[in-house]
């Protein structure tokens, strides 16, 4: 068989198109992984509009992880100190159904929780929402996206009246100034970065500004790197605004015609003089001025951001403060311009569409909005009032709910919280106390499996058919092209079967995922993310498609505005397409205006002090994906980054007498860890960096999240995973934390 499957890379939110073909090729030796499984061949899909044939090392090597250490069968145990025993699906479903009913009728539906993932396909997300929020009446569905882009969601909603990144990747090649803040795009969104960098190199006049406390590979490529102190983004952004105002670079016509709340914002920014801002951020006034000048002098400014902005106790305020700059300069709704949040996971965007956070409902709706609840109840054929009016528990609330006994059942799927949640000792202690935890994953073991009563084997990408949406709102069908191992099932099939066994037979009578998707898109009708024109069939025949994509009336805006005439001063294209949102300069707020947010900087939730004098920041490496369940099992990526480390500036290292590679004990108020030192000027003095990837299975005592805290943004409830206060102590005794090169022996 030489058939090629077109699909999407299942790693990051860039969403590169892949072409996958079977391992056996006439006349060529079949590549096999370490366990003897044939490896499928992967290359970039030149026809995919987002990536144009490019892939990074993760996409290129994905096939090598597919057959390694998979969970094949459902397994159960009565308590966490017992061994798992294999059971049939029937027994597992029976047990789960009984437990759900018991909790539902003793503690109430709000004691039932599901913690899902931006690595679900949209169909998985949708069925989970219908089961939890609809049929069971519990809004306690949250996803790891809470730790990832919930601040971007909250910021867009507050500023524009609806979620949705308004830009597209073409803007990378149309901008005059790319403003990258809190994003290491080169390592984490490599193909977005490739597109930008190529264009930047070809066009000398195009400016690239990078704002990051670390000198990352992204910062290396910039014309201007602002190595601000962690947590001073709002100072910087308000400082830039201050100068734009002083130098009269603002678009008064746009502010008058298209925005509200400018006076409150203007009052705030007048307090951010360059002297104050440069001092707080730890940068030169000259550099601050250069940044403001690049912004002001550019016809088209594109901001890109990700976790350095979102993972903050003032994440929503940071997002809105970025958007403010676009509003004050009219930099939105036109090619090459706009505030563009890069999504992390391959289908974080699909999760937003399907309502996959505890305060959302499908179709960009909100739990708190009575009309939205009524619309979804009616669509699902449920009685009025069935959907609870209260937003459900967030990821971290589920942990505290386990602590105080209000959570009676926790169902975790496609995420590994025993590595990725903040304050891991506390997280693990809470998981230890869980009365009943179901864990649905593709691989075994993972760190979270240690805390499960039931393990359910999930079919993963390549083994199930469904859709994913990337950062630029492009929806791609990912067809199954190989059989799931053992008895693994698609996530949505597992949720649907539980739904049927709970008595919701009609609600979950889907024969396949195409039917699930067909039902879901109907819920997006006339919503900002209208994709009623999409179906598996359409995506298969037409290829990847951007939303909004309403069913008929393709000329319709998707903004619910058809005949709007743009304000006369602004030469904006009159016609709407799905490439960019807000090209008509009308927003989803009641008055159609985008809102300025007026925020003073509050700084870090746990600033450094004499006891814990360093700021620890955490993040990612190019070749690894999150908790290593895949990339830790691939030779090439494991060799790229074989072990964890801590980056320390030479000045700090000299003062503490730490030498390169020496083991360092890192203590926060919550726990301590050990890392070999990597002494480098890439990190600013006073700040240290640790990658997030290594959990307890992969290295001893080197978990970044043992150190972090759960303090979160009051609006988005996203924890501040990017900063906590630590102290460093050089370890003189012989102690090793070499990453365990092979965990196979442990399995």
List residues near ligand MGD by CB under 6 A: 12, 117, 119, 144, 147-148, 181-185, 187-189, 211-214, 216, 230-231, 233, 306-308, 311, 344-345, 413-417, 419-420, 440-443, 446, 458, 460-461, 491, 617-620, 622, 624-627, 629, 692, 704-705, 708, 721-723
Cβ proximity to ligand SF4, 18 vs 209, nearer residue: 18
Interface of this chain with ligand SF4, residues 36 to 65, rule: CB under 6 A? 51, 55-56, 58-59
Q: How far is residue 472's CA from residue 681's CA, in Å, rounded to a whole number?
A: 34
Choice from 11, 115, 141, 596 touching ligand SF4 (CB under 6 A)? 11
Determine if 16 is a binding residue for ligand SF4 (CB under 6 A).
yes
Q: HSE of 352 in the Cβ direction (CA atoms, 13 Å)?
A: 32
Residues forming beta bridges with residue 209, ordered by sequence position = 179, 224
Cβ proximity to ligand MGD, 48 vs 624, nearer residue: 624
Piece in contact with ligand SF4 (CB under 6 A), picked from 10-18, 448-456, 544-552, 608-616:
10-18
Among 503, 472, 476, 648, smallest CA distance to 577 is for: 472
Contact call for residues 440 and 76 (beta carbons, < 8 A): no
CB of 625 vs ligand SF4, minimal distance in Å: 8
Q: How far is residue 729's CA from residue 675's CA, in Å, rounded to a whole number?
A: 11
Cβ proximity to ligand MGD, 320 vs 372, nearer residue: 320
CB of 27 vs ligand MGD, minimal distance in Å: 34
Omega prior to 499 cis, within 30 of 0 = no
Give kind and range of the element (H or E) at residue 726: strand 724-730
CB of 357 vs ligand SF4, minimal distance in Å: 22
Q: Strand, helix or coil at 476?
A: strand
Q: How far is residue 592's CA from residue 611's CA, in Å, rounded to a whole number?
A: 50
User: For the CA atoms of 618, 619, 621, 625, what is the dihedral angle to 10 degrees?
Assistant: 120
Contact call for residues 465 and 536 (beta carbons, < 8 A): yes
Determine if 529 is a binding residue for Mo ion (CB under 5 A).
no
Among 247, 267, 240, smallest CA distance to 326 is for: 240
Cβ proximity to ligand MGD, 440 vs 524, nearer residue: 440
Question: In whole angstroms, how far apart are CA 96 and each of 1, 452, 505?
Answer: 40, 13, 16
Cβ proximity to ligand MGD, 313 vs 557, nearer residue: 313
| Binding-site partner at residue 181 among Mo ion, ligand MGD, ligand SF4, none, CB < 5 to 8 Å by type | ligand MGD
| Binding-site partner at residue 437 among ligand MGD, Mo ion, ligand SF4, none, CB < 5 to 8 Å by type | none
Determine if 391 is a binding residue for Mo ion (CB under 5 A).
no
Q: How far is residue 606's CA from residue 591's CA, in Å, rounded to a whole number?
A: 39
Cβ proximity to ligand MGD, 363 vs 695, nearer residue: 695
| Binding-site partner at residue 727 among ligand MGD, Mo ion, ligand SF4, none, CB < 5 to 8 Å by type | none
Choice from 9, 328, 581, 706 touching ligand SF4 (CB under 6 A)? 9
Determine if 15 is a binding residue for ligand SF4 (CB under 6 A).
yes
**Per rule CB under 6 A, count of chain residues that contact ligand SF4:** 13
φ, ψ at 507 (rounded to 5°): -65, -30
CB of 44 vs ligand SF4, minimal distance in Å: 8
Contact call for residues 556 and 167 (beta carbons, < 8 A): no
Copy the structure tokens of residue 253: 């016509």
Contact call for residues 306 and 188 (beta carbons, < 8 A): yes
Copy the structure tokens of residue 438: 């179901």
CB of 552 vs ligand SF4, minimal distance in Å: 32
Omega prior to 445 cis, within 30 of 0 = yes
Piece in contact with ligand SF4 (CB under 6 A), picked from 6-14, 311-319, 321-329, 406-414:
6-14
Determine if 533 is a binding residue for Mo ion (CB under 5 A).
no
Contact call for residues 327 and 152 (beta carbons, < 8 A): no
Contact call for residues 692 and 619 (beta carbons, < 8 A): yes
Cβ proximity to ligand MGD, 206 vs 690, nearer residue: 690
H helices of 298-384, where?
A: 307-310, 315-328, 348-353, 370-380
Choice from 109, 231, 344, 350 touching Mo ion (CB under 5 A)? 344
Q: At what angle do helices 285-297 and 274-281 cross, to 10 degrees?
A: 110
Q: At what angle do helices 89-106 and 491-501 cross, to 10 degrees?
A: 60
Q: How far is residue 632's CA from residue 390's CA, in Å, rounded to a whole number?
A: 40
* Stretch 132-161: interaction string toward Mo ion, x if CB under 5 A: ----------------x-------------
Choice from 135, 177, 191, 679 touching ligand SF4 (CB under 6 A)? 191
What sign for the dihedral angle of Cα 76, 78, 81, 83? negative
Determine if 690 is a binding residue for ligand SF4 (CB under 6 A).
no
CB of 218 vs Mo ion, minimal distance in Å: 17
| Binding-site partner at residue 413 among ligand MGD, ligand SF4, Mo ion, none, CB < 5 to 8 Å by type | ligand MGD
Distance of CA 120 to the CA centre of its chain: 12
Cβ proximity to ligand SF4, 472 vs 497, nearer residue: 472
Cβ proximity to ligand MGD, 193 vs 262, nearer residue: 193
Q: CB atoms < 10 A from the CB of 547, how many?
A: 25
| Binding-site partner at residue 9 among ligand MGD, Mo ion, ligand SF4, none, CB < 5 to 8 Å by type | ligand SF4
Cβ proximity to Mo ion, 128 vs 148, nearer residue: 148
Determine if 14 is a binding residue for ligand SF4 (CB under 6 A).
yes
CB of 192 vs ligand SF4, minimal distance in Å: 7
Cβ proximity to ligand MGD, 192 vs 585, nearer residue: 192
Choice from 190, 274, 392, 558 touching ligand SF4 (CB under 6 A)? 190
CB of 148 vs ligand MGD, minimal distance in Å: 3
Residues forming beta bridges with residue 689, ordered by sequence position = 617, 647
Contact call for residues 368 and 396 (beta carbons, < 8 A): no
Contact call for residues 358 and 389 (beta carbons, < 8 A): no
| Residue number closest to ligand SF4, CB atom | 59
| Binding-site partner at residue 304 among ligand MGD, ligand SF4, Mo ion, none, CB < 5 to 8 Å by type | none
What sign for the dihedral angle of Cα 258, 263, 268, 274? positive
Residues that bind Mo ion (CB under 5 A): 148, 344
Residues that bind ligand SF4 (CB under 6 A): 9, 11-12, 14-16, 51, 55-56, 58-59, 190-191
């Amino acid at each position: 068989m030489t058939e090629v499957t077109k699909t999407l890379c299942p790693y990051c939110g860039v969403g590169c198109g892949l072409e996958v073909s079977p391992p056996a090729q006439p006349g060529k030796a079949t590549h096999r992984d370490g366990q003897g499984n044939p490896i499928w061949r992967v290359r970039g899909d030149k026809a995919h509009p987002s990536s144009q044939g490019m892939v990074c090392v993760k996409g290129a090597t994905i096939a090598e992880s597919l057959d390694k250490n998979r969970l094949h069968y459902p397994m159960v145990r009565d308590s966490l100190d017992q061994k798992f025993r294999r059971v049939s699906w029937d027994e597992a479903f029976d047990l789960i159904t009984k437990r759900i009913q018991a909790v539902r009728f003793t503690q109430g539906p709000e004691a039932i929780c599901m913690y899902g993932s931006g690595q679900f396909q949209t169909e998985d997300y949708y069925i989970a929402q219908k089961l939890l929020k609809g049929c069971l009446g519990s809004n306690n569905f949250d996803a790891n996206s809470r730790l990832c882009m919930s601040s971007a969601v909250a910021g867009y909603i507050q500023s524009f009246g609806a979620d949705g990144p308004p830009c597209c990747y073409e803007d990378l090649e149309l901008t005059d100034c790319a403003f990258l803040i809190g994003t290491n795009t080169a390592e984490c969104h490599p193909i977005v970065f490739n597109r930008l960098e190529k264009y930047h190199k070809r066009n000398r006049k195009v400016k690239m500004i990078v704002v990051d406390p670390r000198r990352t590979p992204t910062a290396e490529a910039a014309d201007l790197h602002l190595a601000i102190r962690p947590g001073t983004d709002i100072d910087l952004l308000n400082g830039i605004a201050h100068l734009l105002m002083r130098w009269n670079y603002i678009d008064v016509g746009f502010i008058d015609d298209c925005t509200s709340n400018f006076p409150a914002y203007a009052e705030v920014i007048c307090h951010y003089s360059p002297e104050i801002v440069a001092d707080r951020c730890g940068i030169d006034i000259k550099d601050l001025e250069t940044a403001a000048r690049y912004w002001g002098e550019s016809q088209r400014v594109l901001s890109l951001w990700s976790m350095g902005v979102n993972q903050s106790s003032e994440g929503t305020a940071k997002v809105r403060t970025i958007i403010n700059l676009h509003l004050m300069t009219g930099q939105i709704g036109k090619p090459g311009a706009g505030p563009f949040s890069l999504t992390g996971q391959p289908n974080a965007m699909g999760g937003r569409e399907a309502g996959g956070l505890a305060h959302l409902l499908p179709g960009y709706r909100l739990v708190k909005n009575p009309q939205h609840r009524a619309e979804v109840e009616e669509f699902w054929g449920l009685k009025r009032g069935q959907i609870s009016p209260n937003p459900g528990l967030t990821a971290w609330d589920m942990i505290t709910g386990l602590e105080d006994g209000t959570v009676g059942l926790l169902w975790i799927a496609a995420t590994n919280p025993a590595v990725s949640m903040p304050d891991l000792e506390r997280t693990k202690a809470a998981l230890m106390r869980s009365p009943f935890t179901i864990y649905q994953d593709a691989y075994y073991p993972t760190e979270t499996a240690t805390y499960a009563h039931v393990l359910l084997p999930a079919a993963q990408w390549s083994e199930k058919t469904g859709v994913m949406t990337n950062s630029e709102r492009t929806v791609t069908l990912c067809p199954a092209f190989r059989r799931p191992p053992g008895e693994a099932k698609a996530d949505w099939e597992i949720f649907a079967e539980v739904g049927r066994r709970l008595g919701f037979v009609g609600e979950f009578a889907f024969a396949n995922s195409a039917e699930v998707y067909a039902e879901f898109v109907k819920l997006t009708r006339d919503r900002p993310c209208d994709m009623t024109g999409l179906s598996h069939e359409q995506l298969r025949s037409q290829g990847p498609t951007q939303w909004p994509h309403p069913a008929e009336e393709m000329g319709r805006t998707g903004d619910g505005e058809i005949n709007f005439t743009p304000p006369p001063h602004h030469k904006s294209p009159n016609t709407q397409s799905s490439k960019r949102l807000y090209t008509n300069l009308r927003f989803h707020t009641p008055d159609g205006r985008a809102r300025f947010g007026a925020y003073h900087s509050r700084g870090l939730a746990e600033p450094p002090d004499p006891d814990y004098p360093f700021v620890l920041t955490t993040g990612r490496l190019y070749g690894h994906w999150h908790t290593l369940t895949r990339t830790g099992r691939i030779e090439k990526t494991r060799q790229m980054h074989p072990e964890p480390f801590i980056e320390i500036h030479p000045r700090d290292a000299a003062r503490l007498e730490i030498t390169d590679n020496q083991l360092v004990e890192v203590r926060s108020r919550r726990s301590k860890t050990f890392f070999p030192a990597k002494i480098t000027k890439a990190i600013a003095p006073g700040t240290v960096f640790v990658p997030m990837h290594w959990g307890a299975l992969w290295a001893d005592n080197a978990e970044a999240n043992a150190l972090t805290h759960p303090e979160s943004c009051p609006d988005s409830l996203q924890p501040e995973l990017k900063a906590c206060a630590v102290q460093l102590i050089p370890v003189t005794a012989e102690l090793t934390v070499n990453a365990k090169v092979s965990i196979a022996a442990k399995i």
